[in-house]
Structure 1
Amino acid sequence: MADRQILLKTLLQQRHWQTYRIFCKEYDKAAGLIDSTLQGKWPSRAQLHRWLSGELKGLPYSDHCRVLETMFPGRSAEELFSPGKGEVLASRIDVEPSKSADRIAETSPTPQLADVTAVFSSRSAFASAYSPSALFDTAREINAAGLSLNVLCQNYPDHRLKRLLESGTTIRCLFLDPEGNAIRAREDEEGYKDGTLTTLTALNISMLTRLKEKLAPEAASLLELRVYDETIRFNILIVDGTTCVVQPYLPQARGVDSPTIVINDNTAADGLFPVFDQVFTSMWERSSPV
């Protein structure tokens, strides 16, 4: 079992149910179909990790098995906890495994994917699959660090940001300081001679500052704006502690041309989610309030 992940984990990844919150929601749906008394009796986070890592010896309790078999019709509990046999990860926009995915699965062992669920060659390709509305409309916590944070400031309407904050969503935005040295170094690297990045970043900070001033004190306190002055390496977006979007900054290339990695499992052993979550936390702690 060490060289192939169990079938249950593969099936959860195909359906994008592998985060703990979503798994529990789907578990409850299935439990309600067979016995309402089983709702709310999902496994603990630690138990789920043992299930998905293949550490479990034997099978879970019978009630868990019944619910899992309802979640995945046609699959027995024995199958779900056995190594997968060629099942492949589906993309976000195509749940059915494609022929090309089959070929990739034959040459790339799925355990190497860790908690990465999608990779795009550019930010524009990512934006085609993950709209700002899909990312933010139901979010309860948004942490963003990068340069100008256009995905929030330019691509998501003010009135929706206002609605999120008034409904209790916390938003933390960490910008590259428009008055610092690092942003000018990045402008030189990308070939800008007119202060394009400095102007855009200052504009975005100003836009969020104006929005904050229009909010009631309680809602305004949920929007935090900070700046940092360090060599920029990543654009990091973390939504609800479950979805992480990472975009590295390449040398002599515009940010829009950067590849994008989507990470969707904060329970995965040796995954990337805690790595970038810690990067954001560390940067935030070193930053200065606007």
Structure 2
Amino acid sequence: MSGRPILLQILLRQRQWHRYGLFRAAYDDAARRVDRDLVGTAPSRAQLHRWTSGELKRLPYTDHCRVLEHMFPGWTADQLFGPCPDDVLTPPAPGDARRPDGPMADVVAVFPTRADFTGAVPPYDLFDTAADIRAVGLSLNLICQQYPDQRLHGLIEKGTTLRCLFLDPDGEAIRAREREEGYTDHHLIMLTRLNIEVLSRLRARLPDTARDRLSIAVYDETVRFGIVLVDDTTCVVQPYLPQARGVDSPTLLLRRSAERPGLYNTFARIYTELWERSRPV
């Protein structure tokens, strides 16, 4: 082949699936629609590199090709592993209707559950280089339980701003959510209190010059979404479904588009409005 990249490599980058975890999640999502027995058969990281580097001398196995063609409707396997056409290689003008990710409205990945999301996108990947983190939800376990305290302390000490908005453990909304999820032992109330205490202790250990960079607040309204905003570019969204635990709910990963309005702005506005009505802790 010439120096021109293959089509698959470009399409993966356009959809922001070039990171292996995101590719694997998108692959499994397509596999479920093709044949559920193909879920979990994604190529290894090394195989994916060979696929996208143009090193293959023949097409992958037929099942791989079937899934890829489902991931990229309108393209055949032969085209996906061939040179990228000029009209795909050249970025479209802003607002161009041919933009491949136009209909996706900032959505770059969808995961069936929160566990699937954290398996593909570990909290380290989200937070380690973040300068600004804003979060609203119920107990905010992604930050308080799945990201080490010392690591979070180091981020804030070095300049990261963290604002966390919890469902009020003393309010009525969290009791309504417990009834909806079937808890009779105040599990959500105790977990939320614990997580607020975790961040409160962390804030107390920060130097005076860094303490104001960690803000904690509570709100007492029907919980609809868990929202994490990172650096005004990335958003993780999880709806709270009726009679389903948060960990079992689908999770969306959004990347803000500089060219047009999308879902990122919608969820950023929800966060801002809730923060403005919140009570500091």
Q: TM-score, normalised by structure 2?
A: 0.69
Q: Offset at 1:264?
A: 1.0
2:112 and 2:249 in contact (8 A); partners too: yes
Residue 194 of structure 1 pairs with residue 185 of structure 2: yes
Q: Distance in 1 between matches of 2:261 and 2:205?
A: 43
Match of 2:212 in 1: 221
Match of 2:261 in 1: 270
Q: Distance in 2 between matches of 1:255 and 1:231?
A: 14
Structure 1 segments, 4+ long, off by >3 Å, are 9-12, 14-17, 93-99, 107-110
SS state at 2:72 partner = helix
Residue 209 of structure 1 pairs with residue 212 of structure 2: no
For residues 178 and 114 of structure 1, do their structure 2 counterparts lie closer, same or farther at Cα, with a shift above 3 Å needed?
Answer: same
Q: Distance in 2 between matches of 1:177 and 1:248?
A: 18
Match of 1:249 in 2: 240
1:238 and 1:277 in contact (8 A); partners too: yes
Q: Distance in 2 between matches of 1:235 and 1:15?
A: 22
Match of 1:283 in 2: 274
Counterpart of 2:157 (choices 163, 166, 181) is: 166
Q: Which amino acid aligns with 1:178?
A: P
Q: Offset at 1:105?
A: 2.8
1:121 and 1:258 in contact (8 A); partners too: yes
| Structure 2 unaligned residues grouped into runs of 5+ | 1-7, 19-44, 53-63, 76-99
Deviations 1:239-288 (A, max 9, x none): 11111000000000000000000001232423111111111111111111
Matches for 1:4-83 after TM superposition, within 5 Å: 12-15=13-16
Match of 1:102 in 2: 69
Counterpart of 1:137 (choices 128, 131, 141) is: 128
Greater shift, 191-200 or 266-275, is seen at 266-275
| Structure 1 unaligned residues grouped into runs of 5+ | 1-6, 18-92
Deviations 1:37-87 (A, max 9, x none): xxxxxxxxxxxxxxxxxxxxxxxxxxxxxxxxxxxxxxxxxxxxxxxxxxx
2:16 and 2:108 in contact (8 A); partners too: no
Deviations 1:70-125 (A, max 9, x none): xxxxxxxxxxxxxxxxxxxxxxx868686424224327974321211000000000
For residues 157 and 11 of structure 1, do their structure 2 counterparts lie closer, same or farther at Cα, with a shift above 3 Å needed?
Answer: closer
Identical residues among aligned pairs (%) = 52
The two structures, once aligned, show a CA RMSD in angstroms of: 2.7
Counterpart of 2:103 (choices 99, 112, 127) is: 112
For residues 200 and 107 of structure 1, do their structure 2 counterparts lie closer, same or farther at Cα, with a shift above 3 Å needed?
Answer: farther
For residues 287 and 266 of structure 1, do their structure 2 counterparts lie closer, same or farther at Cα, with a shift above 3 Å needed?
Answer: farther
Q: Distance in 2 between matches of 1:248 and 1:150?
A: 15
Match of 2:166 in 1: 175
Q: Which amino acid aligns with 1:234?
A: F
Q: Which amino acid aligns with 1:257?
A: D
Q: TM-score, normalised by structure 1?
A: 0.67
For residues 104 and 203 of structure 1, do their structure 2 counterparts lie closer, same or farther at Cα, with a shift above 3 Å needed?
Answer: same
